[in-house]
């Protein structure tokens, strides 16, 4: 049985010895892959930034925070009714809180901290980027290695629980975050019509692989157990796109 080693999209990044590959239990992660040129027959679909976004859930033993990050631009390449490539730019200055939306003061403190050098260092890295390198049919025999998390009431949802329902494809692409680019692969539900395309995905990443090290749980043994932030981040991706030149609305 094949395995999809699922990781997490927003916790910390590490350095690896020469020729050593990053490992993880959530989205499948490896060194960045080459981006293929779009097929001659491919048609471009423009991502509708008003209805597309990324969402995240960060966890610590005493609670969770959730929110969104806006997509500033993007496009998908479609050939023979299938998504074959694409690129999405994420506006790291446009982070919003969901769980504290009604508390402007606390929400502002959280967003300010996430934008700081402790997390995404937005001043020096105002955007993140995901570039699709391959899309293949989802294999129902694929299994998931689930990371064993420190037990607490608020531990992150596992890779078995945080996954899109009825996935149709496995998407692989290069995620650039805080200046680090790694390849990630995850299940997605994709629908393509003559004038529209949509993609939904839910997966986990290990934030430390991209250098987001604040409260790294690796050092939890040296601090009170309620003081660290789980390295695993639950990440959702929702894309809606319209064929260029089409007036069809999602």
Predicted pLDDT at 14: 35
What rounded mean pLDDT belongs to the chain? 86
- Within a domain: 219: yes
Q: What is the pLDDT of residues 65-116, one digit of tens each?
A: 999 999 999 999 999 999 999 999 999 999 999 999 999 999 999 999 999 9
Residues 6+ apart with CB under 8 A from 78: 42, 43, 44, 45, 84, 192, 197, 243
- How would residue 38 be classed by pLDDT, with cut points 50, 70 and 90? low
- Within a domain: 201: yes
Predicted pLDDT at 250: 38
- Whether 24 shows a pLDDT value over 50: the answer reads no
Q: What is the pLDDT of residues 146-158, one digit of tens each?
A: 888 989 999 999 9
Predicted pLDDT at 28: 77
- Within a domain: 106: yes
Predicted pLDDT at 12: 33
Q: Tokens 């925070």 appear where?
A: 65
- Within a domain: 250: no
Provide the number of structural domains found in the chain. 1
- Residue 178: give the domain boundaries: 3-35+42-243
* CATH for 238: 2.40.128.110
- Within a domain: 91: yes
Residue 47: C-alpha distances to residues 87, 168, 175, 178, 183 (Å): 9, 20, 17, 23, 21
- Within a domain: 248: no
- Within a domain: 249: no
- Within a domain: 71: yes
């Amino acid at each position: 049985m094949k395995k999809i080693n699922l990781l997490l999209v927003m916790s910390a990044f590490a350095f690896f010895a020469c020729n050593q590959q990053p490992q993880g239990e959530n989205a499948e992660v490896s060194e960045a892959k080459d981006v293929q040129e779009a097929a001659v027959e491919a048609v471009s679909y423009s991502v509708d930034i008003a209805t597309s976004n990324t969402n995240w859930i960060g966890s610590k033993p005493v609670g969770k925070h959730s929110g969104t990050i806006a997509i500033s631009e993007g496009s998908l390449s479609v050939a023979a009714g299938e998504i074959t490539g694409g690129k999405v730019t994420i506006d790291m200055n446009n982070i919003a809180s969901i769980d504290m939306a009604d508390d402007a003061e606390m929400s502002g403190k959280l967003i300010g901290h996430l934008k700081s050098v402790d997390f995404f260092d937005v001043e020096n890295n105002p955007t993140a980027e995901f570039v699709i390198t391959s899309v293949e049919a989802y294999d129902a025999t694929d299994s998931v290695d689930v990371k064993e998390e420190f037990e607490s009431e608020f531990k992150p949802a596992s890779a078995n629980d945080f996954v899109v329902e009825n996935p149709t494809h496995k998407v692989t692409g290069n995620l650039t975050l805080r200046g680090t680019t790694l390849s990630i692969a995850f299940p997605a539900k994709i629908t393509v019509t003559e004038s529209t395309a949509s993609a939904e995905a839910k997966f986990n990443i290990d934030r430390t692989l991209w250098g987001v090290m604040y409260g790294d749980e690796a050092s939890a043994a040296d601090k009170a157990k309620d003081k660290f932030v789980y390295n695993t981040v639950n990440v959702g991706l929702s894309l809606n796109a319209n064929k260029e030149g089409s007036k069809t609305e999602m």
